[in-house]
Amino acid sequence: MFSFLLNVIRIDVVLELISFAICIFISLSFLRAHLRLGSSTFVLLSAGFGLMGGAMLVRAITIGAALFGFFGRDLSRSLAPYLFQVELLYSFVRLAAYLVFVLAYVLHPASRSGVQAAVVPPPLLLIYNPAFELMSVVVLAYVVIASTVNWMRTGSKGSGSVAGGFWALLASHLLFALTPLSFLLYFAGHAAQLLSLLLILWGSLEAMRG
């Protein structure tokens, strides 16, 4: 069982690194869209995805170094006691990124004139935090509604893809929350997360082109 969990964590690290790369592309695309169009909403979206990407990178590197000796055994032994603290910090930073998304839509609302309980094995807590998943669902629910309203009211370039991406991101957290029922849901959650990032990346590129 433990070796199976290690294999799952290894896959998680790889998927997190892929997600990090996509997040950075999204962040840079929204930043370029801001420089081109002057919208401060794009600055906040860029900052949010930058936070997400940074959290993913730190988490992936720390877990990889601690459990799989990416940078040598000495560093692995030094980092191992702090894995759960890193996971907690990761959760807080991701939530902070989602709150930045909320702020983007609160400060710049769309206008028509404007453009059952299960026992979770301790090793699984390195990749699964039920409290974080549920809080993320609550915060993202507002972002999903706001981005959908923005798309329906303005029809601006990229807004439909961004809204679809946030819907997929919300679905990913719901799937992650159900992980104790089946590991297939965990991998489905990762697939939904990657889909969400790709949709938002496409939307940011559309916005950048104006």
Give residue 113's pLDDT.
42
- The end-to-end CA distance of the chain, in Å, is 51
Query: pTM of the entire structure?
Result: 0.78
Give residue 8's pLDDT.
76
Structural domain range at position 90: 2-209
Give residue 1's pLDDT.
56
Give residue 202's pLDDT.
93
Q: Encoding tokens for residue 77? A: 């032994």
Pairwise CA distance, residues 158 & 169, whole Å? 16
- Total residue length of the chain: 210
User: Which residues of the chain have a pLDDT value below 50?
Assistant: 112-126
Pairwise CA distance, residues 204 & 132, whole Å? 26
Give residue 28's pLDDT.
92
| Per-residue model confidence as pLDDT tens digits over 147-164 | 999 889 888 888 899 999
| Per-residue model confidence as pLDDT tens digits over 28-43 | 998 888 888 777 888 9
Total of domains in the chain: 1
Give residue 141's pLDDT.
93
Contact 200, 158 (CB under 8 A): no
